[in-house]
Amino acid sequence: MRLTSALTRPLILEGAERLASARRGALSLFVSYKRKMKNKFLITVIFLLQLNSCDEYKPIVAPMTVEPKYSHKVSGYIELENQTDYSNALIYLDSLDVGCSTYPSGFYELQLDTLDTLTTGIFTVYYFLYDYNLDSNMIYLKNGKLVSDTLDVDSDCNLIPKKLSQIFRIEGTTDRSTYHIGDSLWLIVRIVNLEDTTIIFTIYNGGSLMNTASLYNEKYPSFLMTPEDILLLQRGLVLSKDSIYQEIGSFKIPAGTSLLTGFYPIPSDSFIVLAGSFDFSRTDNPIFDNIYHYLRFDWFNQKLPSFHSLEYDFKPNKYEFPHVMIIN
């Protein structure tokens, strides 16, 4: 037993030494790893402190909620295809039956002061002329006021600009530019289809563009001219793509017109020659019934607005009727 013990003792000592060495190595690795992790933590903390101290006067806080703006008016701009003057378009707020007209720049401003303060919800603003395609914007009203940054309204309570495309063009020409009382005025009226599809017109008052014609200046009552000769009559009018319809007629320049208050003589001034009483059939949207009702009972009666030039003929359109000078 002593011999065996003597022989094995060196082996035991050697194993113990190896075990101690392994423990020392593991401890050294652990200490090194701990130092590295501590250094990484310190580096991360220092980076965050430096980042936060870039502007000591701007502490990190939660973003503030932007309060919406409110307005008592609906305003914006429109453009009209083939035009440089954008006046005479109807701006109509559906369901509330209020409207206004555009200025030559295309700007419009629809006042909401008359609305009930309880008026709240989503509404549609329509842009209408007889000879242009209908367009619209959506708005949100709260307690009778327009709310910014909602639907088609920007942060300043302005509506998205719109550009309307033209459906057809009506243009007229006369045989000369100056007339006296009793002269015959020869007028040519053309309707040009600008759409890619067929359009249908209904013509009233005897079935001709030339059955009615008048001299218009917003400063005076209209002066109806007596037809003398009409070269083409047609009640129903169907125009295919790129087609043109034309009528020629002769009218006598009147001395004046009869009013309830008596006879009103025609003054020497510039007039626009308006011809025909017709309508472009538009039944694809029920909103047209509301628009036509508004035009009949509000637009015409109020003659909205008062700043119109001679282009204004009591209907929202861009018809190109001729201008003449009358000398009495």
Q: Answer whether residue 26 shows pLDDT above 70.
A: no
CB 86 within 8 A of CB 104: yes
- The verdict on 94 and 37 lying in the same domain is no
Amino acid letter, 36: K
Buried b / exposed e along 234-251 (16+ C-beta atoms within 10 A) = eeebebeeeeebebbbbb
- The verdict on 95 and 137 lying in the same domain is yes
* Cα distance between residue 21 and residue 16, in whole Å: 9
Helices (H), 64-174: none
Range of the domain at 26: 1-61
Q: Answer whether residue 8 shows pLDDT above 60.
A: no
Tell me, what CATH number does 118's domain have? 2.60.40.1120
- The verdict on 238 and 303 lying in the same domain is yes
Predicted TM-score of the model (pTM): 0.71
- The verdict on 47 and 124 lying in the same domain is no
- The verdict on 185 and 319 lying in the same domain is yes
- The verdict on 47 and 117 lying in the same domain is no
- The verdict on 187 and 145 lying in the same domain is no
> What are the tokens at 60?
């990190």
- The verdict on 211 and 317 lying in the same domain is yes
- Residue 1 has a pLDDT of 44
Q: How many domains does the chain have?
A: 3
Bridge partners for 192 per DSSP:
169, 244
- Residue 166 has a pLDDT of 95
- The verdict on 159 and 174 lying in the same domain is no
Q: Give percent of the chain with pLDDT exceeding 70.
A: 68
- The verdict on 155 and 206 lying in the same domain is no
Domain finish residue from 38, 61, 84: 61
Structure confidence by residue, pLDDT tens digits, 129-182: 989 999 999 999 999 899 999 999 999 999 999 999 999 998 999 999 999 999
- The verdict on 141 and 210 lying in the same domain is no
